[in-house]
């Protein structure tokens, strides 16, 4: 199983409203689609040829801020946290572990 970052833009998508409506959605994934598999941890549907089904299991409260991530030695060196263009990017194991450790005390399980 792999970890992924799916980029979103709050000007185009209200993530809180999306999750409140349903925990299961899809996300456009034009990049790395050949490396995604069932069980991996992560507009107009008619326009997007490549999509990945996703499920939200937790909300991170308070959210992890980019400034906090950049101050962390392991996380700050991960280029996508400094900004990237694209829709999705794989997360290396060491970065995923450091990110999970930072997020753990802030995880709020979403209802079933």
Coil/strand/helix, residue 71: helix
Over residues 56-102, the pLDDT tens digits come to: 899 999 998 889 999 998 899 998 888 776 778 889 999 999 999 99
Cis omega (within 30 of 0) for bond into 19? no
Express each pLDDT in 12-31 by its tens digit: 888 889 888 999 988 877 77
pLDDT: which is higher, 74 or 43: 74
Radius of gyration for the chain, computed over Cα atoms and rounded to the nearest angstrom? 14
Higher pLDDT, 1 or 61: 61
Domain boundaries, the chain: 3-109
Query: How is 79-103 classified by DSSP, letter by letter?
Result: GGGG---SSEEEE-HHHHHHHHHHH
Pick 39 or 75 by higher pLDDT. Answer: 75
- pTM over 0.85? The answer is no
Instruction: Please check whether residue 6 is in contact with residue 88, taking contact to mean a CB–CB distance below 8 angstroms.
Output: yes
Is residue 59 within 8 A of residue 88, CB to CB? The reply is: no
């Amino acid at each position: 199983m792999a970890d992924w970052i799916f980029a979103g833009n709050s000007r185009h998508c209200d993530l809180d409203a999306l999750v409140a409506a349903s925990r299961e959605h899809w996300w456009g994934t034009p990049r790395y689609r050949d490396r995604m598999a069932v069980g991996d941890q992560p507009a107009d549907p008619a326009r997007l040829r490549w999509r990945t089904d996703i499920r939200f299991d937790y909300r991170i409260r308070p959210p992890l801020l980019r400034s906090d991530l950049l101050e962390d030695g392991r996380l700050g060196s991960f280029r996508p946290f400094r900004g990237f263009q694209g829709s999705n990017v794989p997360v290396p194991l060491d970065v995923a572990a450091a990110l999970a450790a930072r997020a753990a005390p802030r995880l709020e399980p979403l209802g079933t």
